[in-house]
Amino acid sequence: MFLAIFAPVIAPYGPETRVWEDKMQPPSMQHYFGTDDTGADIFSRVLYGYRLDLMMALSVVVIAAALGTFLGAIAAFFGGKSDESIMRVTDVFLAIPGLILAMAVAAVMGRTPTNLVIALAVTWWPPYARLIRGQVLIEKQKLYVEAAKASGGNWARVLFKHILPNAIYPIFVNATLDLGGVILTIAALSFLGFGVEPGAAELGRMVADGRQFIFVNPWVVTFPGLAILFVSLGLNLVGDGFRDILDPRLRR
């Protein structure tokens, strides 16, 4: 997070800065991670890649969690046909492999960061809907909900002011744990050619652009690949810690 936020300050070069005379330079004090085949500084591009990937991952998780929470809460609160229709749509999305669906959406909409966020958010919301539906079904049976209804509260007030604040904690935990998975999926889509445009400072795209040099100049692929590993691992550890904070029963 620190590296992503302060990338413009830390990076010695811009993400699009290229010096053709310095192409394919090995790691050195001038270029910490070496340079690629266009003379771009890999260290600087990795920092900006962190920035772009984390922004996209946060956007995907926020949109998916908000959409899934709203639909799942509505389905559980009203039940009946509303619950049945929303859950069947959820089942349809869950039946389609998420990566394949994201590839199809990204291919239709075009290869931009915004379209990639939309493509992933479309495939990522069903688990949130399922999760919050179960929580709301538990909460709406409790006495405080009956008291809120008896006091004259309309459905929106009862659901969004009383039930959701008590049912939302698993969503926060799931969202933090999902960030690492979203980063990996973004990198996979970019590697397969369904993410950002070639040459962009995005970690998966950098691995894809440099894979032809893996045996000749391995640093071109190694450092972006390690960056993906460390950011995914770090986000998973943050998610585990956040889960332990919100649910002390899980602490060892």
Q: What's the per-residue H, E or C state across 172-220?
A: HHHHHHHHHHHHHHHHHHHHHCCCCCCCCCCHHHHHHHHHHHCCCCCHH
Cα dihedral 166, 169, 170, 174 sign: positive
In the CATH scheme, what is the code of domain 35-250?
A: 1.10.3720.10
Displacement of CA 6 from its chain's centroid (Å): 20
Distance CA 250, CA 228 (A): 28
Percent of the chain with pLDDT over 90: 37
pLDDT tops 70 at residue 155: yes
Mean pLDDT of 191-220: 87
By CB atoms closer than 10 A (0-12, 13-18, 19+), residue 130 is middle
Q: Taking 70 as the threshold, does the pLDDT of residue 249 lie above it? A: no
| pLDDT at 97 (0 to 100) | 84
Evaluate whether 51 touches 7 at the Cβ level (below 8 Å): yes
Tokens matching residue 148: 């809120």
Give me the mean pLDDT over the 24-35 stretch: 90
Residues 6+ apart with CB under 8 A from 211: 221
For the stretch 109-143, pLDDT in tens is 887 888 889 989 988 999 999 999 999 999 888 88
Give residue-wise pLDDT tens across range 85-107. Answer: 999 999 999 888 888 888 888 88
User: What is the spatial distance between Cα 207 and Cα 148, in angstroms, rounded to a whole number?
Assistant: 55
Which pLDDT band, with edges at 50, 70 and 90, does 229 fall under?
A: very high
Q: What is the per-residue pLDDT across 180-196, written as a single tens digit (0 to 9) for each?
A: 889 999 999 988 888 88
What pLDDT is stored for residue 59 in this prediction? 94
Secondary structure element (H or E) that encloses residue 120, with its range: helix 113-124
What integer pLDDT is reported at residue 238 of this predicted model? 87
pLDDT at 103: 87
Give domain limits for the chain: 35-250
* 213-216 LR contacts (CB < 8 Å, sep 24+): 213/24, 213/37
The per-residue pLDDT of the chain, averaged, comes to 88
Interatomic CA distance for residues 3 and 10, integer angstroms: 8
Residue 247 has pLDDT above 80, yes or no: no
How many CA atoms does the CB half-sphere of 103 hold within 13 Å? 13
Q: Read off the amino acid at residue 211.
A: R
Residue 224 binned pLDDT confidence (cut-offs 50, 70, 90): very high
pLDDT at position 225 is 93
